[in-house]
């Protein structure tokens, strides 16, 4: 960040004061809580998280320092307040891909286009000649679940994905939400959520590496190091 865009010391100080105020409010809400899912506690929690995140960002931008706080991500859900016996559910899915091998993607689309042209007149002029055209052909030909299971064949590389199941009292009217399918999701109506991300794999790998290093250190006595000799060629 350039010097001109850096926050002032006063802004950092104000953000620190906001964290202190949010801490007091959170503690007061906890002390007055009416039950496990008290909305006042949840609101105070979110305010504290937002204040701490703002302070952390300004502190880093101004002084290149960080706080020891772990700021909760947006993947946390509020307490469920939907119907106890839902009459309808919606399943919201997002899957991200990187176009890792464009030529493979184009080749697959050309095969689909060739098969379609044998079955009848072509839908458009050389739709498989561009990456966006090839994507349109493939996603029109194959179900999303099939593409997910065969993504490497199509030159795609998996990114993050998430699946949300939301509950409702009644099914939506036909055509109601098609123009904006994800705009009106109430987080408090989410029954369950499943996330897949390479971030989780990296964290797991780090934990495994740490455990292995700890086990190795425990098994290898420093006093025994002098007894370890390199193997000669015959012993190898």
What pLDDT shows up at residue 234?
46
Please indicate, yes or no, whether residues 83 and 197 belong to a single structural domain of this protein.
yes
226 in any annotated domain: no
Domain co-membership, 85 together with 111: no
* Calpha distance 133→160 (Å, rounded): 23
Range 113-122 average pLDDT: 73
Q: Is 211 helix (H, G, I), strand (E, B) or coil?
A: helix
**Phi/psi of residue 157, nearest 5 degrees:** -120, 130
Same domain, 114 and 150: yes
Report the pLDDT value the prediction gives residue 221, as an integer from 0 to 100: 54
Instruction: Read off the pLDDT band of 236 (50, 70, 90).
Output: very low
Total domains in the chain come to 3
Query: Are the C-beta atoms of 48 and 69 separated by less than 8 Å?
Result: no
Does residue 227 lie within any of the structural domains? no
Domain shared by 7 and 58, yes or no: yes
Name the pTM for this structure. 0.53
Written as six digits, the tokens of 79 are 């307490």
Residue 147 belongs to domain spanning: 101-154
Q: Are 189 and 80 in contact (CB under 8 A)?
A: yes
Same domain, 107 and 85: no
Q: Highest-confidence range of 47-51, 95-99, 179-183, by mean pLDDT?
A: 95-99
Q: What residues have CB less than 8 Å from 23, skipping those under 6 apart? A: 48
- Mark whether 30 and 133 lie in a shared domain: no
First vs last C-alpha separation in the chain = 55
In a domain, 41, yes or no: yes
Whether residues 11 and 119 fall in one domain:
no
Is the residue at 68 inside a domain?
A: no
- The pLDDT score that the predictor gives to residue 66 is 84
Residue 145 shares a structural domain with residue 189: no
- Is 222 within a domain? no
The C-alpha atoms of residue 70 and residue 52 are separated, in whole angstroms, by: 9
Q: Examine residue 205 and state whether it is found in any structural domain, yes or no.
A: yes
Q: Are residues 17 and 130 in the same domain?
A: no
Positive or negative: CA dihedral 128, 97, 186, 86: positive
**Looking at residues 174-200, what average pLDDT do you find?**
87
Grade residue 198 by pLDDT with cuts at 50, 70 and 90. Answer: confident
In a domain, 123, yes or no: yes
149: confidence class by pLDDT, cuts 50, 70, 90: very high
57 phi/psi in degrees, rounded to 5: -65, -45
28-56 pLDDT, tens digit per residue, is 999 998 887 788 888 898 899 889 989 98
At 30 the pLDDT is: 92
- Is residue 21 one of the residues assigned to a domain? yes
Element spanning 148, H or E: helix 144-149
Contact between 147 and 129 (Cβ < 8 Å) = no
Domain match, 81 and 196 both: yes
- What mean pLDDT do residues 10-33 have? 94
Residue range 170-176: average pLDDT?
91
Residues 83 and 192 in one domain: yes
- Regarding whether 57 and 10 lie in a shared domain, the answer is yes
Residue 228: predicted pLDDT: 43
Question: Which of 96, 90, 136 is CA-nearest to residue 112?
Answer: 136
């Amino acid at each position: 960040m350039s010097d001109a865009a850096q926050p002032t010391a006063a802004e950092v100080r104000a953000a620190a004061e906001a964290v202190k105020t949010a801490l007091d409010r959170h503690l007061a809400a906890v002390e007055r809580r009416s039950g496990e899912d008290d909305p006042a506690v949840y609101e105070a929690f979110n305010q504290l998280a937002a204040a701490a995140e703002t302070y952390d960002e300004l502190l880093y931008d101004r002084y290149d320092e960080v706080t020891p706080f772990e700021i909760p991500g947006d993947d946390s859900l509020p307490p469920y307040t939907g119907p106890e016996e839902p009459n309808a559910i919606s399943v919201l899915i997002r899957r991200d891909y990187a176009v890792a091998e464009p030529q493979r993607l184009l080749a697959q689309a050309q095969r689909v286009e060739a098969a379609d042209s044998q079955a009848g007149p072509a839908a458009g002029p050389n739709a498989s000649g561009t990456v966006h055209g090839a994507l349109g052909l493939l996603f029109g030909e194959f179900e999303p679940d099939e593409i997910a299971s065969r993504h490497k064949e199509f030159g795609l590389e998996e990114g993050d994905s998430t699946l949300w199941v939301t509950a409702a009292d009644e099914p939506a009217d036909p055509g109601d939400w098609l123009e904006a399918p994800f705009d009106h999701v109430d987080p408090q109506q989410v029954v369950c959520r499943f996330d897949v991300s390479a971030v989780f794999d990296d964290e797991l790998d780090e934990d495994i590496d740490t455990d292995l290093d700890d086990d190795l250190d425990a098994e290898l006595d420093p006093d025994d190091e002098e007894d370890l000799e390199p193997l000669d060629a015959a012993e190898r």
